Amino acid sequence: MRRRNFLQLASAALSGCVLPSFARADQTAKPFRFAHLTDIHVQPELSAADGFRKCLAAVNALDVKPEVIVTGGDMVMDVFAHNRNRADKLFALYSDVSKGETDIPFYPCIGNHDVFGWSHRQDVKPEDAAFGKGLVCEKLSLEKTYYAFDQGGWRFYILDDIQMAPDNRYQAYIDEEQLDWLTKDLEAKPAETPALVVSHIPIYTVTTFDKGREDDLAYRVGYSAMCRDAPKLGALFGKHNVKLALSGHHHQLERIEYNGVTYICGGAVCGSWWRGPYRGMQEGFGLVDLNPDGTFAYKYVDYGWNAVT
């Protein structure tokens, strides 16, 4: 027994009770646990809903149950390029499984596949309230696609880095209005409070590059694969005690330590879009334990799904 614990126990024995301050100290030291479920891509095909159920069952059964689930985007497969009928079905399926299988509250982050109609405009007009991010906000009761909250002594920032690009495509960056909000909120946060950010497309990444460019002596990462404003965001994080940046999108497990921030791309619940592991990466989710002093532990959990083909 360590000397400090012995002295506390001896003191408790003398007073005839366990010291309340001792009990309080232990509770404060307990990490805040949450699960990061990214790239679920739920769909009626390939038993994806059963896979999502199995994932949530694994989350529920953990020795220490997570207090919240934060998604990493691409909750459905997919509404970017499909019509309204299909979009309604996918969101209904997502809602059924996420609400039916666990009582853990969800904090959603949106991905490119959750944005409605940007590349399929035959039956939806840009002035329709559901177009783009309107539908996911309506379905998940979100006021905005970016927001912040406090848990476990940390401030969480759920960001939306999916922006419209020419030719009905998308690219990754934080738009001006969101950046202004984020900057002001970080400035208002107590400096000692650690923070983490969650985005769908990684702020920094090295696990993707444009294919077919091996001969042009350049390693190129497209702006649909990594935030084009990464240096600006990284500098902002460094000023405001942001310790962790979680993402998805690449269905790969990647960890980058850069200028005091840990950037983790957290695999994928669906692996290779429910067709098996993706480039050797098993279907899984992230388990994060946050300590109030700004340290944390991250673990990727393979929940044992076998693709149905």
Nearest to Fe ion of 12, 165 (CB atom): 165
Q: How far is CA 265 from the centre of its chain?
A: 9
Q: Cβ of 214: how many Cβ atoms within 10 Å?
A: 10
Min dist. Cβ of residue 74 to Fe ion (A) = 4
Subset of 157-216 contacting Fe ion (CB under 5 A): none
Question: Which x/- pattern over 104-123 shows residues binding Fe ion (rule: CB under 5 A)?
Answer: --------------------
Nearest to Fe ion of 75, 186 (CB atom): 75
Q: 115, 108 in Cβ contact below 8 A? A: no
Q: How many residues bind Fe ion (CB under 5 A)?
A: 2
Residue 156's alpha-carbon distances to 85, 111, 166, 185, in angstroms, are 34, 17, 31, 11
Examine residue 39 and tell whether it contacts Fe ion (CB under 5 A).
yes
Report the length, in residues, of the chain: 309
E strand map for the chain: 32-37, 68-71, 106-107, 147-151, 154-158, 162-165, 169-172, 195-198, 242-247, 253-258, 261-266, 284-290, 296-302
Nearest to Fe ion of 39, 173 (CB atom): 39
Nearest to Fe ion of 268, 290 (CB atom): 268
Q: 35, 286 in Cβ contact below 8 A? A: yes
Question: Which x/- pattern over 47-76 shows residues binding Fe ion (rule: CB under 5 A)?
Answer: ---------------------------x--
Nearest to Fe ion of 42, 242 (CB atom): 42
Min dist. Cβ of residue 249 to Fe ion (A) = 6
Query: Contact residues for Fe ion (CB under 5 A)?
Result: 39, 74
